[in-house]
């Protein structure tokens, strides 16, 4: 009888098979079908439609796959994204927030005085669970080295105090950088951070805090 229609169909370019092609192949394999030409053409049309899937297709209802399918990376609006792209888009991203606290007024060059709780910073709910990751200090003038400790109400948060060296105006230039104790740097709602000035003299002082955490 020669080639089966399925073998002959496989030899065609996938984008060039027509219903007439399929009809003739079916008819070659089973001449008895010629008596029901309409039904045979209906089958041929369905088969040809299944083969020629290069254009956009619309599927109705729920489609279930027994195995994961490969989805190419999205390159334009309206494209589906694959898992790798989705993980990157929706992964929880670490963010930073900053706050500054005036301890002694910079504008009026208020004299710096030593002592505990010279200023206080309340922690809002939005920072609960976040960590204090950086602390900086700035002053109008520093005649003797200024040292600052931050306390969370229970524990000192700096294992090495924040300092501004004599003659400097910013802690970034300090000989010894502040070190945050990571055992006590996590914020809680309602916590209040106290600024203790443990030494030094000068005018005007502000402390800057950086908190790091995950955005909801």
pLDDT digit string, tens, across residues 137-163: 999 999 999 999 999 999 999 999 999
Domain containing 112 equals 94-214
Q: Looking at the domain assignment, is residue 130 inside a domain? A: yes
Q: Check whether 72 has a pLDDT greater than 50.
A: yes
Q: Looking at the domain assignment, is residue 42 inside a domain? A: yes
Q: Check whether 26 has a pLDDT greater than 70.
A: no
pTM of the predicted protein model? 0.60
Does 102 lie in the same domain as 192? yes
Give the chain's domain count. Answer: 2
Q: Looking at the domain assignment, is residue 80 inside a domain? A: no
Does 48 lie in the same domain as 111? no
Quote the tokens at residue 112.
């710096």
Q: Indicate which CATH number applies to the domain containing 136.
A: 2.60.120
């Amino acid at each position: 009888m020669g080639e089966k229609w399925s073998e002959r169909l496989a030899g065609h370019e996938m984008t060039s098979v027509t219903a007439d092609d399929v009809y003739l192949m079916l008819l070659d394999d089973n001449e008895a079908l010629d008596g029901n030409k309409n039904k045979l053409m209906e089958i041929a049309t369905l088969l040809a439609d299944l083969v020629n899937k290069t254009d956009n297709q619309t599927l109705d209802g729920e489609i279930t796959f027994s195995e994961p399918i490969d989805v190419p990376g999205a390159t334009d609006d309206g494209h589906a994204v694959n898992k790798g792209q989705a993980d990157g888009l929706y992964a929880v991203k670490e963010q930073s927030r900053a706050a500054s606290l005036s301890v002694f007024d910079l504008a009026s060059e208020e004299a710096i005085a030593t002592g505990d709780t010279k200023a206080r910073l309340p922690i809002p709910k939005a920072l609960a669970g976040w960590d204090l990751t950086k602390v900086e200090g700035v002053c109008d003038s520093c005649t003797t080295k200024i040292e600052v400790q931050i306390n969370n109400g229970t524990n000192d948060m700096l294992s090495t105090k924040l300092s501004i060296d004599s003659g400097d105006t910013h802690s970034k230039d300090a000989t010894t950088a502040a070190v945050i104790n990571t055992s006590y740097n996590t914020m809680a709602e309602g916590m209040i951070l106290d600024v203790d000035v443990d030494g030094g003299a000068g005018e005007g002082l502000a402390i800057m805090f950086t908190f790091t955490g995950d955005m909801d």
